[in-house]
Amino acid sequence: MVVDASPVKETIEPGQFFNIKCGESYFPLLRRPFSIYKINDTTLEFMYLVKGAGTKYLTRLETGDKVNLFGPLGKPFSLEQSYQTILLVARGVGIATLAALAQKAAQDGIRAVAILSARTTNDLLAAQELQEFGAEVYKVTEEEGTSDVANVRKMVNQIMIEHPIDAVFTCGSKRLSILLQDMIKENHIPGQIALEEHMGCAMGVCYACVCDVKEEDAVHSVKVCKDGPVFPLEKVVLK
């Protein structure tokens, strides 16, 4: 979905999201959170999976229709000036969240290498777009028997041999995120994760999107919508 973003005056960064009103009546009552897929000069693009009443409503919108957006919200990804090559690992619709990051990396002259995981090759969302941004893309699927954690570990190891990776970014898979937590610890590199949670208010009031993070030896709860959705990968409690 492409929307005219010219009325938005705030700076919009990869990893942030918008809460979108998905109807004209009281049903569905709550807005739906959508991560940003592409950030253009005057437009924003959102990629979403049609699952319920909210997303079905969005499919009925036509060119010229108005949509009620609330955002940009949340803390974005952070790209350091010292980064030369980054690794992106995503599964399913999580790929859409990392597309805007690949776009920003290309604009900043940072090379991106991506591992995209899905059930089938037809589900490999945004693979072509990432390649258009200059990313080196590897694809793994359940259909081809290549998406298991052991195989992805081998791929990450090989990529790290071929490219000095400065940071890792991930979204969309708990299993792969746990794997990457281990690998960034082994290789002493930073990582960031964009968490996906059901949100009620997207402002930190309702506490519907709480997750646990570890600070030193203490574990405490944070709100994904306000304190995230992007967190340091090593701090998020996934196991």
Residue set of the binding site:
32-35, 54-55, 201, 206, 209, 225
Residue 88 CA to its chain's centroid (Å) = 10
Residues that constitute the known binding site for [2Fe-2S] cluster = 201, 206, 209, 225
* Dist. CA 210–CA 41, nearest whole Å: 33
Residue 123 DSSP class: G
Residues that constitute the known binding site for FAD = 32-35, 54-55
15 vs 44, 57, 60, CA distance in Å? 13, 24, 26
* Dist. CA 212–CA 215, nearest whole Å: 10
SS3 content of the chain, % helix, strand, coil (to 5): 25, 30, 45
Closest CA to 108 of 132, 130, 133, 81: 81
Sign, CA dihedral 81-126-92-208, equals positive
* Dist. CA 142–CA 132, nearest whole Å: 25
101 vs 5, 96, 142, 160, CA distance in Å? 18, 9, 25, 20
